[in-house]
């Protein structure tokens, strides 16, 4: 027996099964990460072909089986087709999907995660922000929704709000000029970059790609998130390996 349901989500991956079918992983607002079979979707005439591609965002009409779902139809709001025209954009988008797959689980609501991925892909297509900065913002926001990232504020040693000089993962937050010597992993950051970390963590996904940082602020922000990812995620992502090969 199977039940029909409609879920809002975004396709993270689609792999061929047999000659005609796709097995997709879809991140949904209502039920988190789910497996969906799109039967016949690989046939060029199939109405499922377009909605079975990574980045497709919309409402998916599904039959719920015991272990997976079967696609019955979909109303796609956004395909993000523009990303496919640029190899760097497409691999960065695939990395974002891989990271979402790493952080999310089945049967656990993922409203914020879906909104984040949707707004991130949108920011990429708009091209108003540097791609490296978009990537760092996405990584930080995903970590703050699903993992643990220290929220900047007062100095973790003296609780002072003046002269904040940077961040420390070991100390778990901001450190002031006087106490930076106490943090072995002290990372100097200009105030604008520290504020940007705070801004990204507390604001909704649709707002986080709207700020500006100067060159130093951008470099400090990216360095902070890169160190965070190395320290707390430290996993290899296939799409990232492709990206780094391309950038050599
Ligand atoms: Zn202090």
**Structure tokens that stand for 23 in this block:** 């097995």
How far, in Å, is the centroid of ligand 1 from the Cα of 63? 57
| Domain boundary residue, one of 44, 64, 79 | 79
For 22-26, what is the mean pLDDT?
Answer: 96
Task: Give the pTM.
Answer: 0.94
| Domain boundary residue, one of 79, 108, 128 | 79
pLDDT of residue 2: 65
Full residue range of the structural domain in which residue 47 is found: 3-79
**Structure tokens that stand for 177 in this block:** 């000029």
How far, in Å, is the centroid of ligand 1 from the Cα of 147? 26
Asked if residues 217 and 190 have their Cβ atoms less than 8 Å apart, the reply is yes
How far, in Å, is the centroid of ligand 1 from the Cα of 219? 24
Residue 164 lies in a domain: no
- Residue 89 phi/psi, 5-degree rounding, is -65, -40
| Domain boundary residue, one of 79, 106, 141 | 79
Q: What is the pLDDT of residues 202-238, one digit of tens each?
A: 999 999 999 999 999 999 999 999 999 998 887 888 8
Query: What is the C-alpha to C-alpha distance for residues 111 and 196, in angstroms, rounded to an integer?
Result: 23
How far, in Å, is the centroid of ligand 1 from the Cα of 118? 39
Asked if residues 104 and 146 have their Cβ atoms less than 8 Å apart, the reply is yes
pLDDT of residue 236: 84
Q: What is the pLDDT of residues 53-71, one digit of tens each?
A: 999 999 999 999 888 999 9
Which residue shows structure tokens 């879920």? 7
Q: What is the pLDDT of residues 113-169, one digit of tens each?
A: 999 999 999 999 998 899 999 999 999 999 999 877 888 889 999 999 999 999 999
Asked if residues 29 and 19 have their Cβ atoms less than 8 Å apart, the reply is no
How far, in Å, is the centroid of ligand 1 from the Cα of 86? 46
């Amino acid at each position: 027996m199977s039940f029909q349901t409609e879920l809002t989500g975004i396709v993270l991956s689609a792999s061929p099964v047999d000659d005609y079918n796709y097995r997709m992983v879809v991140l949904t607002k209502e039920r988190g990460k789910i497996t969906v079979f799109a039967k016949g979707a690989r046939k060029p005439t199939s109405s499922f072909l377009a909605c079975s591609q990574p980045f497709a965002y919309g409402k998916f009409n599904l039959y719920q089986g015991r272990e997976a779902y079967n696609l019955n139809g979909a109303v796609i709001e956004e395909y993000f087709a523009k990303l496919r025209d640029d190899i760097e954009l497409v691999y960065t988008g695939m990395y974002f999907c891989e990271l979402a797959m790493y952080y999310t689980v089945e049967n656990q609501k993922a409203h914020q995660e879906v909104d984040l991925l949707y707004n991130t892909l949108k920011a990429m297509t708009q091209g108003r922000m540097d791609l490296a900065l978009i990537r760092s913002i996405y990584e930080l926001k995903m970590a703050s929704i699903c993992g643990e990232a220290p929220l900047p504020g007062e100095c973790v040693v003296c609780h002072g709000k003046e002269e904040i000089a940077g961040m420390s993962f070991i100390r778990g937050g901001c450190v002031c000029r006087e106490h930076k010597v106490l943090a072995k992993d002290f990372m100097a950051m200009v105030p604008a970059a520290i504020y940007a970390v705070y801004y990204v963590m507390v604001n909704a996904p649709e707002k986080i790609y709207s700020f500006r940082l100067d060159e130093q602020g951008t470099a400090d922000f990216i360095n902070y998130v890169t160190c965070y990812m190395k320290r707390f995620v430290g996993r290899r992502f296939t799409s990232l390996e492709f990206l780094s090969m391309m950038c050599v």
